[in-house]
Amino acid sequence: MIKNLFMHLHTVNKHRWYVFKLSIRAGIPFRGLIHDLSKYSPSEFIESVKYFDGKVSPIKKSKMDNGYSKAWLHHKGRNKHHFEYWYDFNSPISVPVIPFKYFCELICDNIAASMTYSGKDYKPENNLRYFNNRKDLKYINEDIKKAIQDVYRQLIDNGLKKTINKGNLKKTYNKYIK
């Protein structure tokens, strides 16, 4: 249990460090600084230590065991870089376009998560593949989905430097979001 606690803490810190470095490139350093802070709250932290695995995320593990993850429900309700934060199936637009700064944070989060979990096996191809395999793809706002896929394709073709910077992200976002 103590070992899991430190391992989980290490994973969260490492992930946040990668997000922070990417967020500077993306021009959203403040978002990077406060990214995922709710992971240190008891509601998220305790469950994640209990279900710590190292390979699979503790949230996924908890969902497999219980059918839900209280940590995730807490997390998505507070973190605007998740699509799920914005969903409202009783609103005229149930899956709205997310604002630009959270779009950038979402991309930094995805790349950082991929880097954290794959370590030295990380390849830019992972991001597009992982995104296209999402089970909830049909619920993601159509324009946001296209913008994200475009960014991940650029990541493969042009590399990190040319893709993850404020100018390019803004240009790509504006290409799809009118």
**7 vs 34, beta carbon nearer Zn ion:** 34
**116 vs 153, beta carbon nearer Zn ion:** 116
User: At CA 141, angle to CA 170 and CA 148, rounded to 5?
Assistant: 40
Q: Which residues of 102-112 are buried (b: 16+ CB within 10 A; e: fewer)?
A: bbbbbbbbbbb
Closest approach of Zn ion to the CB of residue 98, in Å: 13
- Total count of residues recorded for the chain: 178
x/- letters, 78..117, toward Zn ion (CB under 5 A) = -x--------------------------------------
**37 vs 64, beta carbon nearer Zn ion:** 37
Q: Which stretch binds Zn ion (CB under 5 A): 32-40, 64-72, 99-107, 145-153?
A: 32-40
CA distance 98 to 124: 23
Q: Which residues contact 66 (CB under 8 A, 6 or more apart)?
A: none
Could you tell me the CA-to-CA distances from 9 to 13, 45, 46 in Å, in that order?
6, 9, 11
x/- letters, 53..82, toward Zn ion (CB under 5 A) = --------------------------x---
**71 vs 155, beta carbon nearer Zn ion:** 71
Token duo for residue 135: 């089970």
Closest approach of Zn ion to the CB of residue 120, in Å: 24
- Exactly one of 16, 31, 36, 107 binds Zn ion (CB under 5 A); which one? 36
Could you tell me the CA-to-CA distances from 18 to 4, 33, 50, 55, 177 in Å, in that order?
21, 11, 24, 18, 27
**120 vs 135, beta carbon nearer Zn ion:** 135
Does residue 47 interact with Zn ion by CB under 5 A?
no
- Please check whether residue 10 is in contact with residue 48, taking contact to mean a CB–CB distance below 8 angstroms: no
Q: Which residues bind Zn ion (CB under 5 A)?
A: 36, 79
